[in-house]
């Protein structure tokens, strides 16, 4: 069977098209990929593989350039054939949701994989492993899913006319957008409209997922990130709307915030992170909130965990804590709320349901800098930046390291160095590697990868300790007591 015929057959099988539409589909695909090189046979079985065959054909026919970004634009358009229009996706979602929220979510997740919006093949390239620590098992991912920019694509993008549409990659206007060299293809992208209080938000999946059912809940308006009482209300509403999901927000300040501070959004999914299973090491009750269980979590970052039956109680207490932390300074613990009028304090909040009850984790963040730590006092310090120097955002806060692609090859050179083989180890790994040599005189070909992986995990634990504003419970409890507690 020819590649176009095979693709059309799969489209009919996986969509609302019927056999009566076969010639129409054939001609529409032919218009996209071209006729010059004919229509060769294909041995591919899946729709996504057939799409790749069609892209090769389109490149050969001169219908699309060979750059990844150019192929992606046409690839998304081809996968749009099996993707219902937004109104139909939303209609089906909410009609199904009335009968079974779990099925509505599962079907939307399935569509987002089936139409190649979620890049499963790319995600599979990531290197992932777990390492034990005194805080529990930490999760490590070396992110290889997002393709690195081709220098030709970068050069070509610079020659393009500047465009501010869509304003960012989280805007609603991305739904159906064709894409260009400097903006991802989104022809097959769909967003579920989600009511949150008096606002309409959107629910979508992340194309390059870092964990199971990694999704984004985004404001339909292009407004900046902000942590407020409304944040807590919305997070707790979302865990009601999306059963089985956690949801959290990056902080809203530079250094301690996420990579996109210009568009208010949350991240959600069906995954149990290491922080979630960490135990409480100090329990107490806040004055006026006797129905809320509260405590400090055994975690390298500074986390208050609140659990209650009532969303209203949790929202009110979380807001009281946020306001107290915003203005709280403690010179003894190097906690600085303001430099002049510049605020340094905010919170990274995470919401979930636990055994039918509502739970909020509030991670205290401080982004002030110093001459000793110009990147941030509570940012990965210089001696661990050879592993992780980027901001510690929501996902890392919860115990999943997203490490840069460079480490794939760099860690192999570290392994060769430990084995006394010829290597091209990066200078910034040398001191760390020498320490590993000293502590692991038994290193061998059989265990070297495990030794390096475990060392990466321990370094990530140190990264999180650097990001934690409190280094001992006594300092942390001074802040807790300043809010007012019933018993210690």
Q: In the chain, where are the structural domains located? A: 3-64
Give, for all 488 residues of the chain, the pLDDT tens digit: 899 999 999 999 999 999 999 999 999 999 999 987 778 888 888 999 999 999 999 999 999 999 999 999 999 999 999 999 999 999 999 999 999 999 999 999 999 999 999 999 999 999 999 999 999 999 999 999 876 654 554 455 445 567 789 999 999 999 999 999 999 999 999 999 999 999 999 999 999 999 999 999 999 999 999 999 999 999 999 999 999 999 999 999 999 987 789 999 999 999 999 999 999 999 999 999 999 999 999 999 999 999 999 999 999 999 999 999 999 999 999 999 999 999 999 999 999 999 999 999 999 999 999 999 999 999 999 999 999 999 999 999 999 999 999 999 999 999 999 999 999 999 999 999 999 999 999 999 999 999 999 999 999 999 999 999 999 899 999 999 999 999 65
Q: pTM for the whole thing?
A: 0.94
Per the listing, tokens 């902000």 go with 226
User: What local confidence, expressed as pLDDT, does residue 154 receive?
Assistant: 45
Q: What is the 3-state secondary structure (H, E, C) of the chain?
A: CEHHHHHHHHHHHHCCCCHHHHHHHHHHHHHHHCCCCCCCECCCCCHHHHHHHHHHHHHHCCCCCCCHHHHHHHHHHHHHHHCCCHHHHHHHHHHHHHHCHHHHHHHHHHHHHHCCCCCHHHHCCCEEEEECCECECEEEEECCCCCCCCHHHHHHHHHCCCCCCCCCCCCHHHCCCCCECCECCCCCCCCEEEEECCEEEEEEECCCCCCCCCEEEEECCCCCCCCCHHHHHHHHHHHHHCCCCEEECCECCCCCECCCCCCCEEEEECCCCHHHHCCEEEEEEECCCCCCEEEEECCCCCEEEEEECCHHHHHHHHHHHHHHHHCCCEHHHCECCEECCEECEEEEEEEEEECCEEEEEEEEEECCCCCCCCCCCCCCCHHHCCCCCCCCCHHHHCCEEEECCHHHHHHHHHHHHHCCCCCCCCHHHHHHHHHHHHHCCCCCCCCHHHHHHHHHHHHHHHHHHHHCCCCCHHHHHHHHHHHCEEEC
- Residue 75's φ and ψ, nearest 5 degrees, are -60, -45
Note the pLDDT of residue 487: 63
H-helix or E-strand spanning residue 142:
strand 138-142
For residue 161, what pLDDT is reported?
65
Contact 288, 374 (CB under 8 A): no
pLDDT at 148: 60
- Using CA atoms, how far apart are residues 73 and 399, in angstroms rounded to an integer? 34
SS3 361: strand
CA-based end-to-end distance of the chain? 73
Write the DSSP assignment of 71-120 as a string of letters.
HHHHHHHHHGGGS--HHHHHHHHHHHHHH-HHHHHHHHHHHHHHTTSS-H
DSSP string, 366-396: E----SS-TT-TTS--GGGTTT--S---HHH
pLDDT of amino acid 150: 47
Residue burial 225-251, b: 16+ Cβ < 10 Å; e: rest: bebeebbbbbbbbbbebbeebbbbbbb
């Amino acid at each position: 069977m020819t590649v176009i015929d095979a693709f059309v057959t799969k489209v009919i099988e996986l969509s609302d098209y019927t056999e009566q539409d076969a010639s129409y589909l054939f001609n529409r695909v032919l218009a996209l990929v071209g006729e010059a090189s004919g229509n060769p046979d294909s041995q591919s079985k899946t729709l996504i593989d057939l799409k790749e065959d069609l892209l090769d054909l389109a490149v050969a026919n001169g219908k699309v350039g060979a750059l990844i970004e150019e192929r992606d634009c046409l690839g998304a358009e081809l996968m749009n054939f099996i993707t219902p229009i937004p109104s139909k996706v939303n209609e089906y979602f909410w009609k199904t949701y009335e009968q079974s929220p779990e099925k509505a979510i599962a079907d939307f997740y399935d569509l987002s994989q089936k139409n190649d919006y979620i890049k499963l093949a790319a995600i599979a390239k990531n290197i992932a492993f777990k390492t034990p620590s005194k805080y529990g098992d930490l999760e490590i991912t070396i992110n290889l899913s997002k393709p690195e920019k081709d220098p030709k694509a970068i050069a070509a993008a610079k020659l393009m006319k500047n465009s501010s549409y869509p304003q960012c990659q989280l805007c609603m206007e991305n739904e159906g957008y064709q894409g260009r060299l400097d903006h991802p293809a989104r022809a097959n992208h769909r967003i579920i409209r989600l009511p949150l209080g008096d606002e309409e938000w959107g629910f979508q999946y992340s194309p390059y997922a870092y964990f199971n059912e990694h999704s984004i809940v985004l404001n339909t308006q292009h407004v900046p990130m902000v942590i407020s009482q409304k944040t807590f209300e919305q997070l707790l509403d979302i865990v009601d709307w999306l059963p089985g999901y956690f949801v959290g927000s990056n902080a809203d300040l530079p250094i301690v915030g996420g990579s996109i501070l210009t568009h208010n959004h949350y991240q959600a999914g069906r995954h149990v992170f290491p922080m979630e299973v960490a135990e409480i090491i100090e329990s107490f009750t806040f004055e006026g909130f006797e129905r809320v269980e509260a405590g400090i979590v055994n975690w390298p970052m500074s986390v208050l965990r609140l659990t209650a039956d009532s969303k209203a109680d949790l929202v009110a207490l979380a807001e009281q804590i946020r306001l107290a932390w915003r203005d709280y300074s403690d010179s003894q613990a190097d906690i600085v709320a303001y430099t002049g009028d510049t605020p340094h304090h905010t919170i990274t909040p995470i919401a979930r349901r636990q055994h039918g009850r509502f739970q909020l984790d509030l991670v205290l963040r401080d982004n002030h800098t110093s001459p000793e730590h110009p990147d941030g006092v509570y940012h990965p310090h210089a001696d661990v930046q050879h592993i992780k120097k980027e901001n510690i955002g929501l996902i890392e806060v919860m115990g999943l390291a997203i490490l840069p692609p460079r480490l794939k090859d760099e860690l192999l050179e570290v392994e060769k160095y430990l084995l006394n083989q010829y290597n091209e180890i990066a200078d910034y790994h040398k001191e760390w590697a020498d320490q590993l040599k000293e502590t692991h005189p038994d290193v061998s070909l059989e265990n070297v990868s495990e030794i390096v992986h475990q060392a990466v995990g321990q370094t990530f634990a140190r990264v999180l300790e650097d990001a934690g504003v409190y280094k001992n419970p006594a300092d942390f409890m001074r802040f807790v007591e300043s809010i007012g507690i019933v018993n210690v």
